[in-house]
Amino acid sequence: MEIRQYLDSTYLKKPKQAGLTKAENLEVVKGFIQEAIDEKFKLIMIRQNMVALAKEMILAQQSKVTVGTVIDFPEGNGSVVDKLSEAKKAIRDGADDLDFVIDYEAFKSGELDLVKQQVLECTKLGLLHHKIVKWIIEVAALNDHQIVQLTALIKNVVVANFKEDCYDSVFVKSSTGFYQTKDNLPNGATFPAVKLMLENSCPLPVKAAGGVRTYEEAVQMIQLGVKRIGTSSAKAIVSGQISNNAY
């Protein structure tokens, strides 16, 4: 199976998180961008301050790789205004995909109107500018019932407020890869969680992010029905290697 067009090659570490200087981390980001171009991956997913650099490199090489960035990352507890402000900056810098972290703690606390408002307003902004919008629900922070409920909430807001031809442009995404779990439990996409998402997101597509580290796992996710896979191991996956990367 040719899986490159499913892969969102991802590097989201800040210098301190990577144990690198700012200059060293910049070189790592450049390497990931160039790798995505060379390997013809679907997308390069990077921090917002690197979006303009990625667009510059991609345009210079006449590549078709698209650029994604994360919004209100990784906690997702910013206000709707904060989310919209970050998204507008990313749009100005040339981002093609906007991956918003939903306020999953507000959802767990029963603040459903707040969560619905952010889904509505941020999705509206993204679609108005012809962007792909993804909603990260952070499955490791949720139980199975909450995964079902939050996935359905996003779907219901989109279906109620946007035309059918927009549905393919709004994803439900599993994870940030930065959530701290107890007892070394997985903090990314798992097959049980992704199945629940797929069962409750239709007609919206699903992105499995984090935890997919081999070609076989990627193929299994695609066969389940996911349309995108977020991974820092994209090169290893297409090369048939096993990666030790955490995301």
Catalytic residue among 55, 134, 207, 235: 207
3-state secondary structure of 72: coil
Interstrand relation of 228-231 and 206-209 (parallel, antiparallel or unpaired): parallel
| Per-residue pLDDT, 223 | 97
| Per-residue pLDDT, 247 | 66
User: What CA–CA distance (Å, rounded) separates 35 from 110?
Assistant: 42
Catalytic residue among 55, 131, 155, 173: 173
Is the Cβ–Cβ distance between 12 and 73 less than 8 Å? yes
Would you give per-residue pLDDT tens digits along the chain (247 residues)? 889 999 999 999 999 999 999 999 999 999 999 999 999 999 999 999 999 999 999 999 999 999 999 999 999 999 999 999 999 999 999 999 999 999 999 999 999 999 999 999 999 999 999 999 999 999 999 999 999 999 999 999 999 999 999 999 999 999 999 998 987 787 899 999 999 999 999 999 999 999 898 999 999 999 999 999 999 999 999 998 877 676 6
User: What CA–CA distance (Å, rounded) separates 117 from 234?
Assistant: 34
pTM for the model:
0.96
Catalytic residue among 8, 97, 99, 103: 99
Nearest to 166 by CA among 203, 118, 112, 139: 203
CA distances from 147 to 66, 114, 196 (A): 28, 18, 7
- The number of helix segments (H) and strand segments (E) in the chain equals 10, 8
Q: Which residue has the tokens 């997985």?
A: 186
Q: Is 173 assigned a catalytic role?
A: yes
Interstrand relation of 66-71 and 43-46 (parallel, antiparallel or unpaired): parallel
Nearest to 209 by CA among 46, 69, 7: 7
| Per-residue pLDDT, 182 | 85
Give CB contacts under 8 A, 24+ apart, made by 164-170: 164/203, 166/127, 167/203, 167/204, 168/205, 169/126, 169/127, 169/131, 169/132, 169/133, 170/123, 170/126, 170/127, 170/132, 170/133, 170/134, 170/135, 170/204, 170/205
CB atoms within 10 A of CB 153: 20
User: What CA–CA distance (Å, rounded) separates 230 from 200?
Assistant: 20
Domains annotated for the chain, with CATH where assigned, are: 4-239 (3.20.20.70)
For residue 119, what are its two tokens?
Answer: 């889904």
Q: Is 96 assigned a catalytic role?
A: no
